A = this chain, B = another copy of it.
Amino acid sequence: MASDLPILKPGSTLGILGGGQLGRMLALAAARFGLHCHVFSPEKDSCAFEVAREKTCASYEDEAELTRFANRCDIITFEFENVPAETADFLVTNKKPVLPDPAILATTQDRLAEKHFLTDFEIKTAPYAEIGSDVDISVATVQVPTPAVMKTRRLGYDGKGQAIVPLDGDPSTAWKAIGEVPAILEGFVNFDLELSVVAARGRDGTFVAFEPVENVHRDHILYQSIVPATITPALAKEAVGITRKIADELNYVGVLAVEMFVVPTNGKHELLVNEIAPRVHNSGHWTIDGANVSQFEQHVRAIAGWPLVRPRRLGLVEMTNLIGSEVEGWKRYIAQANTAVHIYGKGEPRPGRKMGHVTKVTPED
């Protein structure tokens, strides 16, 4: 039980699985508390390496390196939710605390298991159906009207591993397009807007959420997050309530993000959960500059067993990702009032690669 773990002390070592910008910003937040960071990542040029005291560049399957890593850490977390379940299990049996509990990954790494989990707790989602070699695909089409989207059950992100089934289209074609791997068919949702709730749950079950964020995607990649979202206080409360229910049911410890669609239904608005991210999240980056506590500090506090901070927003916030060559526009942002510029120190600005973000915080007075 997380509540039985010793409270982490400054001077301890925090292990981070994954070396991207999330790990980098997590390490920067942990450094403020005098925590030493040890980043484990298979990629040689991981941008989190250079702000951590220790780094291990090895495959997630390398048990010798995982053991060495675990031995040098006091507590381990992850920034990358597709850490193989075997890796997480191996670390857990290695007797080093891993938070959030990697058992959660079994639910969140599998789109079908995630949908079942949500449905079990009466949380609404888009209509969905399982697709696989032992499934009659024509049944799926009955359950899920077209247009729809075929998604691999595992390892998809930023629109990867997806294929569209057009109106009256044949799901088999889409399934072939994604390689006939285990998949789910999801009905299209006519949403008014996309929300996410970034929240933290402490070891003792304390729950605090940042205000719901309105997200704008472009080419399946998050483009902008706007806070506050243009929703009613009642809907904001409902979105936070759903997130709390998910966090409680998972007995979650740390920061998580829940993505939702706001769908018009009979003149009202309904929330459908799209995805659970068991980690700090791109739509929470605004908190670094736009709130009294960042999602990264909040995550460190939660897993360390420290009290969480009640979030307070510092103004009207607009976070914009710098994707691919957009990062070359840094000079314009650096000259802009009320704008914080974050660049991740990655190498080449390849198309679709998240290179940085900017957060504009306009004081409300």
Contacts and interface: CB of A to CB of B under 8 A. Distances in A.
B53 A50 contact: yes
Contacts of A340: 32
Interface string A334-363: 110110111111100000000010000101
Nearest to A7: B331
A361 B346 CA distance: 34
A340 B34 CA distance: 13
Given A10-B343, A343-B10, A310 B292 contact: no
Interface residues of A, number: 43
A140 interface: no
A345 B301 CA distance: 17
A53 to B, nearest CB: 4
A37 B51 CA distance: 9
Given A314-B314, A338-B292, A363-B312, A345 B28 contact: no
A287 to B, nearest CB: 14
A330 interface: yes
Query: How many copies of this chain does one complex carry?
Result: 2
A50 B50 contact: no
A52 interface: yes
A306 interface: yes
A257 B34 CA distance: 25
Nearest to A37: B50
A340 to B, nearest CB: 8
Given A50-B52, A51-B51, A335-B307, A343 B32 contact: yes
Given A28-B51, A314-B314, 13 more contacts: A7-B331, A9-B330, A10-B343, A10-B356, A28-B28, A28-B32, A31-B50, A31-B51, A32-B342, A35-B345, A36-B50, A292-B338, A307-B335
6 contacts: A31-B345, A33-B343, A36-B50, A36-B345, A37-B50, A309-B337
